[in-house]
Amino acid sequence: MQYKRSLAFVLVVPFVLLTLYTIHKVGYLGIFEYQFLSPAGWQVGADLVIACMLLLSWIIPEAKRKGRNPWPFVLITVVLGSIGPLLYILLGSGTEQDEHSRN
């Protein structure tokens, strides 16, 4: 699980910075407006929604099984996309014993 956390950290830091920069330049709604300009944008937007839904279908039951509250990560995913699942992986379960028993 440690390699997943390391990968999540390597991805989340630049992605959060990119997201903040983008919101600064075009605003939060500007990110979505751009996706509606062409069929290529529709495809990318649909792909993001599908990928996030698949990730949430994994996060929600896993978090409940581990006794974690999945809803902050669901909300972050709905509002900020991939940042939610990246944070879920980065923050981990908090119990090393549980992680070793699964590997």
Structural domain boundaries of the chain? 2-97
- Please report how the helices 28-35 and 39-65 are oriented relative to each other, as an axis angle in degrees rounded to 10: 120
Q: What is the DSSP letter of 82?
A: T
CA distance 89 to 62: 11
**Residue 96: pLDDT band by 50, 70, 90 thresholds?**
very low
- Contacts of residue 79, defined as CB under 8 A and 6 or more positions apart, other chains included, come to none
Q: pLDDT confidence of 3, banded at 50, 70, 90?
A: confident
For residue 68, the surrounding DSSP H or E stretch is: none
For residues 98 and 85, give the distance between their C-alpha atoms in angstroms, rounded to a whole number: 19
pTM: 0.81
